[in-house]
Chains A and B, each alone.
Chain A
Amino acid sequence: MKYLADIGSYFIMLGNVFSRPTKTSVIKELIYKEIDELVINSLGIVIFISFFVGGVVAIQTALNIDNPLIPSYLVGFATRQSVILEFAPTFISIIMAGKMGSFITSSIGSMRVTEQIDALEVMGINSLNYLVYPKVIALLLYPFVIAIAMFLGILGGWVAGVYGGFSTSDAFIQGLQEDFKPFHVVYAFIKTFVFAFILATVPSWQGYFMKGGALEVGKASTNSFVWTSVLIILANYIITSLLLS
């Protein structure tokens, strides 16, 4: 029963997020602030992880190829497929569930504990629209983060493959171009938009409806990471089944 009530409150929250809009000039500023906090501030960790994980994918693929019949361009091909289809959109989103999601839950949860949300409501402001809507709009830029992760993942694979002596540059680039299906990129970005919506709304819901004090803010942040990750993985499975199978 509790899960049903939670699902219900999540969808009621979504309804309120998109109703009774806040003044445009104020919401515009909030969107810029959220872009800075959620998108720009995430770039450092995304760049670091993407580059090195791309390199690891290339090295592991190369080390597992010991059959001379397997073409050498497979290193580039496997790196491209892994990075574009799963690593960049899904793996990075789960990392973002930890970084971005915890930040959203703890900031909204702290506002709940210190009555700042009550203060907004007393002033007649739709607190859900004020707090959550800018995050949803800011995360429309999330696919750019994932595009950067894709590019750097492949670049990391090329650097590790070529300079580690596992592949030649020509073979790696041939692998990148081999059997390339543009729809795979479309599929990756479709699921990125879905993950962005989950990343903006589930942690907000956890923070907004939390009760208690500082300890509960911590618990809500942990729950936020768990539920956001679970929903991203479920959404990944459903979207993949619908679009690729």
Chain B
Amino acid sequence: MIRVENLHKSFGEEEVLKGISTSFEKGKTNLIIGQSGSGKTVFLKCLLGLFEAETGKIFYGTKAIQEMNDDEKKELREHMGMVFQGGALFDSMTVEENVMFPLRMFTKKKKEEMLHRVNEVLTRVNLVNANKKFPSEISGGMQKRVAIARAIVNNPRYLFCDEPNSGLDPKTAILIDNLIQEITQEYDITTVINTHDMNSVMEIGEKIVFLQKGNLAWEGDNTQIFKTTNKDVTDFVYSSDLFKKIRDIQNMEN
């Protein structure tokens, strides 16, 4: 579980996060949503420790990251997996080497054991016969799968995903969403996903945190979000014609 208390982050005079307090639960897919510029990415980077917040605390388990020494932070990061928006695969390495990378860095396993684990997670993300290919030789959807495989290969306690569906067709996007949710439940990890894709919200939004101009404007789950009267949330949810039409049809039926 990750607990955030009164998190503030500024860049110069611009305050990007204005006192966010929330929690992300273990074994669930937790979504951070909001418009572009709402502070989602900064929030995610604060959670990852890539940005240091001015005030506020982020608790991983019982200890705040701000109170950890370098060794504790290093150990925590070994238990984190991250799926970046563009995959962030190492382009000089093959798929197999990319997935094996965390094992080589943090374990003392023999090469055969590492290869066995790599094949195991690549099979889990439905990616076979791509071991020897380079990232530039595979599709965007396959790159996302490799990124997920790399993120989970070392059995992380925390999985972070930044816009995992960006650049993917709707069908592949749903497959990736479902894969992340299945892995979250299977490995019982705390997953935090940064997205503005309403399909993801509907599919896997077990806990949703809505950010608006650096404030936490609403939180709930994927059934509550369609019933809320919070104007900022409804404006965001029904910003697409598809969702407006669905709402109109539901209103007519009611």
Which residues does A use to contact B, with CB under 8 Å? Answer: 20, 22-23, 25-26, 110-111, 114-116, 118-119, 121-125
Contact = CB atoms under 8 A, between A and B. Distances in A.
B48 interface: yes
B86 interface: yes
A123 B77 contact: yes
B86 A122 contact: no
A111 B92 CA distance: 10
A124 B86 contact: no
B249 interface: no
B88 A119 contact: yes
A82 B204 CA distance: 71
Contact of A123 (B85, B91, B102): B102
B73 interface: yes
A118 B88 contact: yes
B138 to A, nearest CB: 15
Contacts, number: 53
A124 B88 contact: no
A23 B88 contact: no
Interface of B: 48-50, 70, 73-78, 80, 82, 84-86, 88-91, 101-102, 104-106, 160
Contacts of A118: 50, 84, 88
Contacts of A114: 86, 88, 91
B83 to A, nearest CB: 10
Contact of B90 (A25, A116, A124): A116
A172 B74 CA distance: 62
A124 B48 CA distance: 10
A115 B48 contact: no
Contact of A115 (B73, B74, B84): B84
15 contacts: A20-B70, A22-B105, A115-B86, A118-B50, A119-B84, A119-B90, A121-B50, A122-B50, A122-B82, A123-B78, A123-B80, A123-B102, A123-B106, A124-B75, A124-B106
A32 to B, nearest CB: 14
A20 B73 CA distance: 13
A122 B48 contact: yes
B105 A115 contact: no
A25 B106 CA distance: 11
Contacts of B74: 20, 124
Nearest to A116: B88
Given A114-B86, A119-B88, A123-B106, 18 more contacts: A22-B105, A23-B105, A25-B104, A26-B105, A114-B88, A115-B84, A116-B90, A118-B84, A118-B88, A119-B82, A119-B84, A122-B49, A123-B78, A123-B80, A123-B101, A124-B74, A124-B80, A125-B105
Nearest to A130: B105
Contacts of B80: 122-124
Contacts of A122: 48-50, 77, 80, 82, 160
Contact of B104 (A26, A110, A121): A26
A114 B48 CA distance: 17
A110 B89 CA distance: 12
Contact of A124 (B78, B85, B89, B160): B78
A152 to B, nearest CB: 31
A63 B69 CA distance: 69
A105 to B, nearest CB: 16
A26 B106 CA distance: 11
B185 to A, nearest CB: 23
